[in-house]
């Protein structure tokens, strides 16, 4: 496995982690992290990271999405469709990536050919977060326009809009998709899918920075503090809390191996820590290993080299469907009316474009361009601006 983390210093870190059994009974483990790579492709701080069985993608304040091939350990190019900070990136299986940004767009990408299948004007303001239902048929998004929106990913259109009183900055589905949580500052509203209404509210002491479901009912919550708390979403009670870092926790990621259920945390103190979760969540987890990056961490992911991922991925019918050029034109018209009460806005280009690294025009759009070409274009743009001045 490999832990990947982005930071304010524009770097993506990669650390290979190898479990090493110790003791006669092999009951305890000491995990040994080893620095594997640093990837400096962005020109601004990293804001989001997502992982599938082959690639790690990173979003940044430089408005680009970079793709890193974990098998070959090489830069795979950049996606330059958005005009604003990339705020969220989510893979669904190995076939699709969904991105959200401060330009208000949500984009659906083919994660094999790296084509933009669909571009939706999702929010009037920024898209602050999005989450994909386990079935792959629905997605939720929140934005600075104070709305919670449900998206039909099969048809590529808005399914439901809920006005909320404040701007939410996190939304997350539970593992089975029976419930979801919406985070506004330090408040966590728990929604039930069957009623689409709030069944209860959890209040954290500080502003929430990250949440992750450990089970269908247990939610791990981190905020602008050193502590991580486990809450029961049914009883709305705090099951346990523990001091994870010396500074605020910025992001969390949980995964399971045959032996362990693991929680990974990243903090502004520069440390990444891996925790072994107990079956009883009322008991605090034990530390497996820690990594000091000496950087101000912002986002986190874990790449698991699972050869069976392609077999375990959901069937194509449950994933966002590819959109033909004719469908793109029709959907482009629909996306302009995704919000019934909003005025007509310029419709984003939703047509498919080739995403090869051989593009003769590495400009902003539905294109995959190499890091060298992107930097060359940026230098030329700066020179043109200086001439105009």
Give residue-wise pLDDT tens across range 187-232. Answer: 999 999 998 899 999 999 999 999 999 999 999 999 999 999 999 9
User: What pLDDT sits at residue 21?
Assistant: 65
* pLDDT, mean of residues 37-41: 92
* pLDDT, mean of residues 234-256: 96
User: What pLDDT sits at residue 196?
Assistant: 87
User: What pLDDT sits at residue 389?
Assistant: 57
* pLDDT, mean of residues 23-46: 82
User: 180: pLDDT confidence band, cut at 50, 70 and 90?
Assistant: very high
Look at phi and psi of residue 146 and say left if phi exceeds 0, alpha if psi is from -120 to 50, else beta: left
User: 372: pLDDT confidence band, cut at 50, 70 and 90?
Assistant: low
Q: What whole-number percentage of the chain has pLDDT above 90?
A: 68
User: What pLDDT sits at residue 313?
Assistant: 35
Backbone angles phi, psi at 20, to 5 degrees: -125, 110
User: What pLDDT sits at residue 367?
Assistant: 53
User: What pLDDT sits at residue 184?
Assistant: 97
Tell me the pLDDT tens digit for each residue of 111-144: 999 999 999 999 999 999 999 999 999 999 999 9
User: What pLDDT sits at residue 366?
Assistant: 55
User: What pLDDT sits at residue 385?
Assistant: 57
Taking the C-alpha atoms of residue 70 and residue 309, their distance in angstroms, rounded to an integer, is 14
Of residues 7 and 378, more confidently modeled: 7
Contact 18, 291 (CB under 8 A): no
* pLDDT, mean of residues 348-362: 33
Taking the C-alpha atoms of residue 172 and residue 192, their distance in angstroms, rounded to an integer, is 12
SS3 readout for 26-74: CCEEEEEEEEEEEECCCCCCEEEEEECCCEEEEEECCCCEEEEECCCCE
Q: Which range, 61-65, 257-261, 302-306, 367-371, is most confident?
A: 61-65
User: What pLDDT sits at residue 332?
Assistant: 37
User: What pLDDT sits at residue 336?
Assistant: 36
Of residues 309 and 97, more confidently modeled: 97
Backbone angles phi, psi at 329, to 5 degrees: -65, -40
In this model, does residue 322 exceed pLDDT 70?
Answer: no
Q: Mind listing the domains of the chain with CATH numbers? A: 1-21+28-40+210-307 (2.40.10.480)
- Kindly state the tokens that stand for 175: 């593992």
In this model, does residue 43 exceed pLDDT 60?
Answer: yes
User: What pLDDT sits at residue 381?
Assistant: 58
Q: CA geometry: angle at 31 spanning 278 and 283, to 5°?
A: 15
In this model, does residue 274 exceed pLDDT 60?
Answer: yes
Instruction: Of 277, 274, 226, 230, give the one whose Cα is nearest residue 249.
Output: 226
User: What pLDDT sits at residue 259?
Assistant: 84
Q: Which residues contact 44 (CB under 8 A, 6 or more apart)?
A: 10, 60, 61, 62
Which of 8-17, 35-44, 195-204, 319-328 is predicted with the least confidence, judged by mean pLDDT? Answer: 319-328
User: What pLDDT sits at residue 174?
Assistant: 97
User: 361: pLDDT confidence band, cut at 50, 70 and 90?
Assistant: very low
User: What pLDDT sits at residue 365?
Assistant: 53
User: What pLDDT sits at residue 358?
Assistant: 33
Q: CA geometry: angle at 82 spanning 182 and 344, to 5°?
A: 75
User: What pLDDT sits at residue 388?
Assistant: 55
User: What pLDDT sits at residue 20?
Assistant: 72
């Amino acid at each position: 496995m490999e832990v990947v983390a982005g930071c304010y210093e524009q770097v993506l870190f990669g650390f290979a982690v190898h479990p090493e059994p110790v003791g006669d009974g092999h009951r305890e483990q000491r995990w040994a992290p080893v620095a594997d790579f640093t990837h400096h492709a962005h020109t601004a701080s990293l804001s989001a990271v997502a992982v599938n069985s082959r690639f790690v993608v990173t979003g940044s304040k430089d408005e680009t999405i970079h793709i890193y091939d974990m098998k070959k350990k090489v830069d795979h190019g950049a996606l330059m469709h958005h005009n604003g900070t990339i705020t969220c990136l989510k893979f669904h299986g190995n076939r699709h990536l969904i991105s959200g940004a401060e330009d208000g767009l949500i984009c659906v990408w083919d994660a094999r050919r790296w084509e933009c299948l669909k571009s939706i004007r999702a929010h009037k303001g920024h898209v602050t977060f999005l989450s994909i239902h386990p079935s792959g048929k629905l997605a939720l998004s929140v934005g600075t326009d104070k709305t919670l929106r449900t998206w039909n990913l099969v048809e590529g259109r808005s399914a439901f809009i809920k006005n909320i009183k404040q701007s939410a900055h996190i939304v997350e589905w539970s593992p089975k998709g029976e419930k979801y949580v919406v985070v506004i500052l330090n408040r966590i509203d728990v929604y039930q899918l069957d009623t689409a209404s709030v069944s209860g509210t959890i209040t954290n002491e500080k502003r929430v920075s990250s949440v992750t479901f450990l089970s269908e009912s247990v939610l791990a919550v981190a905020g602008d503090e050193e502590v991580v708390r486990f809450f029961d979403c049914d009883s709305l009670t705090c099951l346990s809390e523990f001091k994870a870092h010396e500074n605020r926790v910025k992001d969390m990621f949980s995964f399971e191996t045959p032996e362990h259920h693991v929680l990974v945390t990243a903090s502004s103190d520069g440390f990444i820590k891996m925790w072994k979760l107990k079956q009883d969540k009322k008991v605090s987890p034990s530390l497996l290993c820690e990594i000091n990056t000496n950087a101000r961490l912002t986002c986190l992911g874990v790449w698991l080299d699972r050869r069976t991922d392609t077999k375990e991925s959901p069937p194509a019918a449950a994933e966002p469907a590819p959109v033909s050029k004719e469908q793109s034109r029709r959907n482009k018209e629909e996306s302009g009316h995704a919000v019934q009460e909003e005025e007509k806005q310029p419709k984003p280009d939703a047509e498919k474009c080739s995403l090869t690294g051989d593009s003769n025009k590495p400009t902003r759009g539905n294109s995959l361009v190499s890091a060298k070409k992107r930097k060359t274009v940026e230098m030329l743009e700066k020179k043109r601006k200086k001439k105009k001045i």
